[in-house]
């Protein structure tokens, strides 16, 4: 199906993201020391250029900042999506005028909050996780931000939640999905989200670089193997248009055709 057969906003967004990706690859050739090299992704956290990016692009809601700082103090704080990546997800949700969103892997809820803030009042995020203790950190801030009613937290295996949504007749009714949970299940998450997302919707898949380990996955690294196999599959998947972006630890955007 040609790109022009999807909504205008998605077509424009795909083209713009393709340009951004090309620019990132060019930057990698010209300035290889900036690319990869850290768990946070393309640019090292302590690199002045990353700070410049944040200083000149991050528009963080005060309560988002509050949650980010709380999460940073947590022993597992490094699991949180990068703030610039979360902002991109929210901008995409807003761009396609999304009302129904799926998030697989909530952690403390920074990204769920970011998306909920841009959803209409009747919008909702189906937030899937198996650890309620992490989510309890963010829930009071969801309420403080006035968007608690938009976030439907479901504490159970995400596969079970996704199957329930399909069984309830919600296939092809969601606008956006964000996948950032156990890497070994990425392919299954992707396939089920593809059933739930409507044509013109977007599936965002996080950690597609896996700190560079996808370049040569070890046989005993099931996470790297799983992500690498999905990356190869997405390249050839005629059901979607894709852009793999060097943001955070790498994110692939799959636009359903």
Q: What is the pLDDT of residues 79-103, one digit of tens each?
A: 999 999 999 999 999 999 999 999 9
Hey, what are 38's tokens? 């850290």
Residue 6 contacts residue 239 (beta carbons within 8 Å): no
| Residues in the chain where the model's pLDDT stays below 70 | 1-44
Residue 175 contacts residue 198 (beta carbons within 8 Å): yes
Q: Is residue 54 part of a domain?
A: no
Residue 160: which domain range?
81-256
Sign of CA dihedral 192, 195, 196, 201: positive
3-class DSSP string for the chain: CCHHHCCHHHHHHHHHHHHHHHHHHHHHHHCHHHCCCECCECCCCCCHHHHHHHHHHCCCCHHHHHHHHHHHCCCCHHHCCCHHHHHHHHHHHHHCCCCEEEEECCCCCHHHHHHHHHCCCCCEEEEEECCHHHHHHHHHHHHHCCCHHHEEEEECCHHHHHHHHHHCCCCCCEEEEEECCCHHHHHHHHHHHHHHEEEEEEEEEECCCCCCHHHCCCCCCHHHHHHHHHHHHHHHCCCEEEEEECCCCCEEEEEEC
Looking at residue 30, its pLDDT comes to: 41
Q: Is residue 12 part of a domain?
A: no
The number of domains in the chain is 1
**In sequence order, which residues have a C-beta less than 8 Å from that of residue 252 and are 6 or more positions away?**
204, 205, 208, 231, 234, 242, 243, 244, 245
Hey, what are 122's tokens? 């009747």
**In sequence order, which residues have a C-beta less than 8 Å from that of residue 95 and are 6 or more positions away?**
9, 13
Q: Is residue 202 part of a domain?
A: yes
Query: CA 96 from chain center: how many Å?
Result: 15
Q: Is residue 13 part of a domain?
A: no
Q: Is residue 33 part of a domain?
A: no
Q: What are the strands of the beta sheet with 240-245, ordered from one edge? A: 151-155, 124-129, 100-104, 174-179, 197-206, 251-256, 240-245
Q: Which of 43, 53, 90 is nearest to 202 (CA)?
A: 90
Q: Is residue 25 part of a domain?
A: no
| CATH number of the domain residue 143 falls in | 3.40.50.150
Looking at residue 46, its pLDDT comes to: 78
Q: Is residue 190 part of a domain?
A: yes
Q: Report the distance separating Cα 191 and Cα 200, nearest Å.
A: 16
Q: Is residue 72 part of a domain?
A: no
């Amino acid at each position: 199906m040609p790109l022009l057969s999807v909504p205008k906003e998605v077509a424009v967004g795909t083209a713009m993201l393709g340009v951004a990706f090309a620019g990132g690859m060019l930057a990698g050739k010209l300035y290889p020391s900036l690319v990869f090299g850290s768990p946070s992704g393309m640019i090292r956290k302590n690199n002045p250029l990353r700070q410049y990016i944040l200083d000149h692009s991050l528009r963080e809601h005060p309560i988002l900042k509050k949650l980010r700082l709380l999460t940073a103090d947590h022993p597992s704080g490094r699991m949180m999506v990068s703030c610039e990546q979360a902002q991109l997800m929210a901008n995409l949700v807003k761009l396609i005028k999304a009302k129904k969103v799926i998030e697989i892997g909530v952690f403390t809820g920074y990204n769920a909050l970011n998306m909920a803030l841009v959803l209409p009042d009747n919008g909702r995020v189906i937030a899937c996780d198996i650890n309620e203790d992490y989510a309890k950190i963010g829930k009071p801030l969801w309420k403080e931000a006035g968007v608690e009613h938009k976030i439907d937290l479901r504490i159970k295996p995400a596969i079970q939640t996704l199957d329930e949504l399909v069984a309830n007749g919600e296939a092809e009714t969601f606008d956006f999905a964000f996948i950032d949970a156990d890497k070994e299940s990425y392919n299954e998450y992707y396939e089920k989200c593809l059933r739930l997302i409507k044509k013109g919707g977007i599936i965002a898949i996080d950690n597609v670089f896996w700190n560079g380990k996808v370049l040569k996955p070890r046989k005993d690294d099931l996470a790297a193997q799983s992500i690498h196999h999905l990356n190869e599959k997405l390249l050839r998947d005629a059901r979607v248009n894709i852009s793999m972006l060097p943001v955070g630890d790498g994110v692939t955007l799959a636009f359903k055709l």
